[in-house]
Each structure stands twice: as structure tokens, then as C-alpha cells.
Amino acid sequence: MSQKDPCQKQACEIQKCLQAKYIECKCEDVIRAMRKCCEVHTTQRSVCCSGFVKEQEETIMNM
């Protein structure tokens, strides 16, 4: 049995927020929570965090 993704809850919250409000900037708090979760769980392979990890790597490379 596979383990539950540690940031799945936050990913679902982002989806719910975007579906309800249709505007990304109104969901900044849940997006921030997702980024924090992904930072905490960097050693685990999180499918939910794959886009956030890529974004973070690109930001570091562009500095």
C-alpha cells in the first residue's frame, strides 16, 4: 500500500479555492500553505509538490 502524499490536503485546498473564487490572487493563503508544506517535505517524493519544487529550482537558477 502506498503512503498518502504529505501535501495532498493542501493541494486539494488550492483546487477548492480556485474552483470557488476563479481568481488565483484570492487563494494566496492556501498556495502559501502548499509551498510551506513542500518545503517541509523536501526529502519525500511528493507528486503534489512537483510543480512547486520545479518553480523553486528555476528561481534559484535565475539568481
Structural domain that includes position 34: 8-61
Q: What is the pLDDT of residue 50?
A: 84
Q: Give tens-digit pLDDT for 26-51.
A: 999 999 999 999 888 876 777 888 88
On whether the pTM is more than 0.85, the answer is no
Q: Is residue 7 classed exposed, middle or buried when 0-12, 13-18 and 19+ CB atoms within 10 A define those classes?
A: buried
1 assigned to some structural domain: no
Q: Is residue 12 part of a domain?
A: yes
Is residue 35 domain-resident? yes
Q: How many domains does the chain have?
A: 1
Would you say residue 2 lies in a domain?
no
Residue 7 · residue 49 · CB < 8 Å: yes
Q: Report yes or no on 19 lying in a domain.
A: yes
Cβ atoms 53, 42 nearer than 8 A: yes
| Residue 3 lies inside a defined structural domain of this protein | no
Residue 34 located in a structural domain:
yes
